[in-house]
A and B are shown apart, each in its own frame.
Chain A
Amino acid sequence: MTTRNGQFDFASLRTKLSSSDGQSYWRSLDELAETEGFQEFLYREFPQQADQWVDPVGRRRFLHLMGASLALAGLTGCTKQPDETIVPYVKAPEEVIPGKPLFFASAMPLGGIAEGLLVENHMGRPTKVEGNPGHPASLGATGVLAQASILGLYDPDRSQTVTQYGEIRSWNAFLSEMREAQQRVKASKGAGLCFLTETVTSPTLHRQLQRLLAEFPAAKWRQYEPVNSDSVRQGAQLAFGTNVATRYDFEKADVVVSLDADFLSTGPGRLRYARDFTARRKLRGSQHEMNRLYVVESTPSNTGAMADHRLPLRALEIEAFALALAAEVGVTWPLPASSGAAGSAWIAPLVRDLKRHPGASLIIAGEQQPPLVHALAHAMNHALGNVAKTISYTEPVEANPIQQTESLRELVSDIQAGFIDTLLVLGGNPAFTAPADLGFVDALAKVKLRVHLSLYQDETSALCHWHIPEAHFLESWSDSRAYDGTVTILQPLIAPLYGGKTAHEMLASLTNQPDQSSYEIVRGYWQQHYPGAPSISSKPAVSQASAAFEQFWRRSLHDGVVAETALPPKSVTLAGRPALPPPGAGRTGLDIVFRPDPHIHDGQFANNGWLQELPKPHTRLTWDNAALISPATAERLGLSNEEVVELQYEGRKLEAPVWILPGQPNDSITLHLGYGRLRTGRVGRGAGFNAYAIRTAGAPWFGFGLELTKMGRRYQLACTQHHHSMEGRNPVRAGTLEEYHKHPEFIHEMGEEASQSLSMYPARKSEGNAWGMAIDLSSCTGCNACTIACQSENNIAVVGKEQVIIGREMHWIRVDRYYSGGLDNPATYHQPVPCMQCENAPCEVVCPVNATVHSDEGLNDMVYNRCVGTRYCLNNCPYKVRRFNFLLYSDFETPSLKLGRNPDVTVRSRGVMEKCTYCVQRINAAKMEAEKEDRPIRDGEIVTACEAVCPAKAITFGNINDSASRVSLLKAGKLNYGLLGELNTRPRTTYLGALRNPNPEIKATS
């Protein structure tokens, strides 16, 4: 069903989809069209090139090596282990027990907002991050970015020295330069001095800046981040006349409407929101009803995939939709009656649903939507009585909330006017991320003294006189606020690997104590500001005050939160109606939509191999971004996947490959930011296309009038969506809440379960512990955090783009994405697939060397040192969860990467098979603790890495022989089913069918 040049025949695809009876699931257009490429993946599992030696090693060299290894093959067993030395401490630090990790509370700031962490530390080396259960934004969960920060910390490509004009300098040389600068600006009261920071929530940094600005009143403080909340702030300003932060309480919301808001995976409160939202979708205990989610969005998102009703609209049309919805909801503002806005068929039943749940609904506007949509959402929440129930307002979390794009624009005009001669860029990479029309790069060159603090020698560093290596957040003392204002004091897990400095130390360089450490600065701030700190006038006994502070300090560091720093709710009143835009007439051509990349964000994580190789939630692309386009638009323009097009927007051009994405609104092209880095490390170099090149200050998130030209070239993308296919056996089972209430067995009846008697092998006895897992598809948001957590916990290697193209990615738990329904707005399901730990494991019976065997507790053990690499097990695995080290993927050389590995898990070499172990190292550790205390293992004591990280609590692990364990209760439920149960593999990992809760008044979901 493809034409000659690789284009899909969309008409026949549509016919095929509409004629298929019942519910069918598909993964990609290639699968539907049964293209040659897909067939090849299906029948060969690894395509043609997989047989070939793709290393850039010639035939002669290869024969040399083979000859040598053959000669040595028989002797390898005779080699002795090299002598090792034991290097004990000179004075052992307190509490450190070799082999037992310690956990320290800290936080990861992203866009200034903290995500609370507990960091696992093995003898001074951080190896794994977990969420901090006591932190309100985490509750024990973490996102992909925090998980991958371990690799970021040990990245050998991080900048390692202070440089001036590219020459290595000492920190002291920089301090003396700063001393001169300080003397210079002192005379002019700071005129000419400017600080450019990212979003600041840190109370200490804010205090430092305030002091400097008090000393140098003419100095300027600018903030800029490419992924900012400008329109959220402006929206609040429009609605209330004052800037407030909005907090949602999903636990109380029965009906949620998202206006282009991907609240489950972006934004400050994402982890907490995902936890609270999915809690209302789990049918457990006394909970028999689910909340209902309507999503109107301009590009497929994880929130859209969870929706009960999803409406793809062009970004511009969402404003009209919001206006029409607001008019129907009955906001207090006079609004024109809704007139045929796109999606208006939805509005009446939606409004009836909202009104049935007064005070228990939520309307959420996306960060990328214009201020008016935010203002309308606020007004609707007021009209629906949600304020102080599902929604609350607080003072802004940021220390100094400003319009960041404006702030950067002012900086540029100041420079152009010659007002700035000393610029300190503290973090961020504005030379790469600034809007293309501001001319930031040209302006930057005019500043006399330019200093840049950053983790990498990046695009901005190249344009600055001084570059200072930044300390990673796991190496720093600092503080930061969470989405609700709760402060976490960041503590370092390791001394700076490369002598990095923090923003605190950079600012101190301009004061009279230039060599103050961040520890002294942060501690000094809290000494004066901790709750109950003695005011300067009252002078209690010094020892008494210091004891109180010491107690506060230790408690705050231990807990990872400073008690009672969450911002109190604030009451607001709705202001008058904001000005409405003129009706959007004459908007022709294509839309351009910008989004932060789900994995490398604004580009700052471009050099992180884990994140680059993690398939994006919807496209399943790795190592690149692409111009995402809807099937109908691709059909109209005659475009096919991987075809390179030139995008022209407001006179600026960008070449990018096309990727056809079902569910994308028509005539709208989405580009993810952060790719196409010009100066970065080995990993990020050459990956993707720079969307910032056509992003302007006027259209930071979307614009219209995009022109598209075909370049007649193709660019190969590494997409994993056909890899590990289980070939149309409906691995996902889904239905509606209504079906479930009518006939609870319906999930079971979707497939057949083979009888145990079919097996030729005797049934296994299972006494004692029997490990099992249940994965709730109704809760899984497809965020991929489990994949990265697993990668970090189990020392899984990165393979690179070429290897991904030939299907060799190593992830032990993958998240499959399935579509169901039409091309234009399919329902989307995410399914995490780890090893099923089958009781009748097909892999075990084919291994000629017994390298994969069954344990008494039901684990399907993989013994690396026995494996000879026949790959029979991989062939015989119906779930495609086994991964083979075709080449030496693990880095055995780079010293810094060795530090970050989990010492409890073997680092695999070339030629061995590997797969999910249910985190057997954690099982063994817990078992030994229980044995030593002579008690059974408690339910929930063993938490696998994927379970620990999951914001949606979709994964549950435990003992299935214990009928009271959480996992047993889930498996006993009506929704439980085994993947490919008809094969009689008896998987220990089972799934709970995906339930959706559509509004019966809205018939078609698409």
Chain B
Amino acid sequence: MPQIFHRSTNTFAKLSIFGSIFIIGGILVVIIAVNRSGYVTQAGVTREQPVPFSHQHHVAAIGIDCRYCHTTVEIAAVAGIPPTKTCMNCHSQIWSTSPMLEPVRDSYRTDKSLRWTRVHDLPDFAYFDHSIHVNKGVGCSTCHGRVDRMPLVWQHASLQMEWCLECHRRPENYVRPRDQVFNMEYQPPTDQIALGKQLVQEYKIQSLTNCSTCHR
């Protein structure tokens, strides 16, 4: 009986066995890359919102402090999304007829909340607390990026656990003086490590990497 396969198929067989190692390895690399990409983490993705609220305009151009709207950032786990009333403090006077702001006025009139799309969404089994981070000298921009340059907010960091642990393991790389926490323009000094170590001591910052620090 003649051979079904030509001799040259041996080479193909060997090549495909050899190649499959690279292919599997390549798939793994791709999976890891995709898992860390903005496609999965949503980092860098701008979300549509019911009202195109611009942090760039309100923070950089007008100079409103973070805490004017995010009132509970220093005392509670959540920074707080402002009630419609906060918008209307100004917008009942200025731009009070702007069609862009109609949803805000409508919310105020009908007593129905605005429904914002959540940008920073941790998994439900992670319990993050803004107040302790802010009190220990973690600046807003460290995690949220230059919000003052975002017309519509996007997520700056990956918010994956390795990203959290990066700072929890080595807080001295990231902390800043407490009075600079809300400063969007803050640039870490060249000797950040020296300053960081000093602040870690001064603020009694612990490197907490126990599971129950965040998961419970």
User: What is A's interface to B at a CB cutoff of 8 Å?
Assistant: 77-78, 80-81, 83-92, 97-100, 853, 855-857, 859, 861, 863-865, 904-906, 917, 920-921, 924, 928, 931-932, 934
Contacts and interface: CB of A to CB of B under 8 A. Distances in A.
Given A83-B117, A90-B85, A90-B108, A99 B215 contact: no
A853 B83 contact: no
Contacts of B35: 77-78
Given A90-B107, A856-B210, A861-B211, A905 B113 contact: no
Q: Nearest 8 pairs between A and B by C-beta?
A: A855-B210, A99-B77, A89-B83, A88-B81, A84-B118, A861-B211, A92-B83, A861-B212
Interface string B175-213: 000000000000000000000000000001000001111
Interface of B: 31, 34-35, 40, 42, 47, 72, 75-78, 80-85, 107-108, 111-118, 121, 123-125, 127, 129, 131-132, 135-136, 204, 210-213, 215-216
A904 B127 contact: yes
A77 B34 CA distance: 11
A90 B72 contact: no
A86 B116 contact: yes
A934 B135 CA distance: 10
Contact of B212 (A87, A100, A917, A931): A917
Given A88-B82, A90-B83, A92-B83, 7 more contacts: A87-B113, A91-B84, A855-B211, A857-B210, A861-B212, A924-B127, A924-B213
A100 to B, nearest CB: 5
Contacts of A855: 210-213
Nearest to A96: B72
Given A97-B76, A932-B132, A865 B215 contact: yes
B114 to A, nearest CB: 7
Contacts of A932: 131-132, 135
A917 B47 CA distance: 38
A924 B131 CA distance: 13
- Among A78, A86, A100, A855, chain B packs the most CB atoms within 10 A around the CB of A86
A364 to B, nearest CB: 44
6 contacts: A83-B121, A90-B111, A98-B72, A853-B210, A855-B213, A863-B215
Contacts of A863: 211, 215
Contacts of B42: 80
Interface residues of B, dominant DSSP: loop
Contacts of A83: 47, 117-118, 121
A83 to B, nearest CB: 6
A168 B197 CA distance: 69
A841 to B, nearest CB: 14
B134 to A, nearest CB: 9
Contacts, number: 121
Contacts of B115: 85-87
A920 B78 CA distance: 19
B211 A931 contact: no
Contacts of A853: 210-211
Given A865-B215, A905-B216, A934 B210 contact: no
Contacts of B129: 924, 928
A931 B134 CA distance: 12
Contacts of A85: 115-118
Given A92-B85, A98-B78, A859 B212 contact: yes
B85 to A, nearest CB: 5
A295 to B, nearest CB: 42
By CB atoms of chain A within 10 A, which of B47, B83, B127, B204 has the most? B127
Contacts of A99: 72, 76-78
B127 A98 contact: no
Nearest to A921: B216
B76 A100 contact: yes
A78 B34 contact: yes
A934 B80 CA distance: 24
Contacts of B212: 855, 859, 861, 917, 920, 924
B84 A88 contact: yes
Contacts of A864: 125, 215
B76 A90 contact: no
B113 to A, nearest CB: 5
A906 B124 contact: yes
A651 to B, nearest CB: 58
Contact of A91 (B85, B121, B124): B85
Nearest to A853: B211
B90 to A, nearest CB: 15
Given A97-B76, A863-B215, A90 B204 contact: no
Nearest to B47: A83
Contacts of A91: 83-85
A920 B213 CA distance: 9
Given A88-B84, A917-B216, A920-B216, A865 B125 contact: yes
